[in-house]
Amino acid sequence: MANLKDLADKSDTLSTEGLDDDKPVPQKEFEGATLEISSNVNDITVTDNNRNRSTNNNLTTGSEFRATDSDDVSVNVVQPSLFRSFSTSSSNNAQDSRGLSRNRPGSMIGSASNKSGASRISTRPGVIQSDLSARSFYCYKETHFEKAVNTVKSIIKPELDGELKSSWLLTEIDHWDFEREKIILLTEYSMFIVKYNFINETLYEYRRVMLHLINAIYIGDFQYPTTSLMPDRKHGGIQIRWDKGEQLSFGQKWNPWCSDIPWVTLSHHPLIYNPKESETVTYNVDEFFESIVTAVSKVFTEKRPGEKVKVVEGPILIESYASPASLVFNQGGIGFFRDRNGVSF
């Protein structure tokens, strides 16, 4: 009987282990990360505030973090809530809560030197660009992009812009929600947004933006206002602003051909949806984001010492309410130079 009593007491003890109802509820700790960027661009260390881990060449998304380099220039990344100056639909709340860290698997095709190292921006779910569709883009034909860069780099003035660092082929979304193919050149002191005709190999127009004039860089999912009738984009991108916080004038806002809008909104090029190019640097806006943040940081050291590069993570507003024209334009890919069954435009 004594043994049975001992076993019963032991059973009662075991059954109560792990019950923490009487313990105070622990306070939720801040979940973020601290990013330090050294003078060596390839040496990036991310320390998680909760797990105290470090990784190289990977920008980890957190609620709020601050990046500093050896020149005391900091990249101040603001919480998403600070950028939500507009109402978003309830359907997007779940997407907002899970943040922006949606890394795609590494590419299994292509050389390592041409492969993206990280992906922070969501792509359209379930979209695949076939090889036949990819070949319809004139920029995808043999050496066409390289030839285009060699042609348009003549606009660079070394005494003003410095040395050309890199180039991308991305999608620009203008203030009227029209998508167009643009070459982006990044130099030591400038960024160029170039419209180039890949069919007749002609430079149409370009904009030069001095890096020290940039006041904010936004990264996140694209969203329309809650009263908009436009379908959700279901993907993200970046927006670079040099507007000094000022609003557009009436003439700028309501002129679809206005060329002096003080910001640029960019996303992946459609070729990113081809499985062979899913991680190619040229078409990847994620790679451009990391490069522009690093470049602006360095320029601030020289041109704006003591100031911080503001990077805001959160939804990016596309102020379009009902635009059938942009829907038709974008779905037809009219802003991209393509071979359309023998008709090229």
| pLDDT tens for each residue of 59-75 | 333 333 333 333 444 56
Average pLDDT over residues 185-199: 97
Reported pTM: 0.70
What's the confidence (pLDDT) of residue 76?
61
CA separation for the pair 270, 283 (Å, rounded): 8
Structure token digits, residue 24: 């105070």
H or E element, residue 330: helix 324-331
* Residue 325 pLDDT greater than 80, yes or no: yes
pLDDT band at residue 78 using 50, 70 and 90 as cut-offs = low
Percent of the chain predicted with pLDDT > 70:
64
What's the confidence (pLDDT) of residue 29?
42
Q: In one letter, which amino acid is 57?
A: N
What's the confidence (pLDDT) of residue 119?
55
Average pLDDT over residues 83-109: 36
Q: Which residue has the tokens 């927006």?
A: 239
Which of the 8 DSSP states describes residue 304? S
Helix ranges restricted to H, 182-314: 250-253, 285-303
Backbone angles phi, psi at 47, to 5 degrees: -110, 120
* Residue 224 pLDDT greater than 90, yes or no: yes
pLDDT band at residue 294 using 50, 70 and 90 as cut-offs = very high
Q: Which residue has the higher pLDDT, 214 or 45?
A: 214
Structure token digits, residue 339: 């071979």
| SS3 call for 265 | strand
185 strand-pairing partners: 167, 192
Which of the 8 DSSP states describes residue 80? G
Which of the 8 DSSP states describes residue 115? B
CA separation for the pair 339, 72 (Å, rounded): 50
Q: Which of 51, 336, 59, 61 is nearest to 199 (CA)?
A: 336
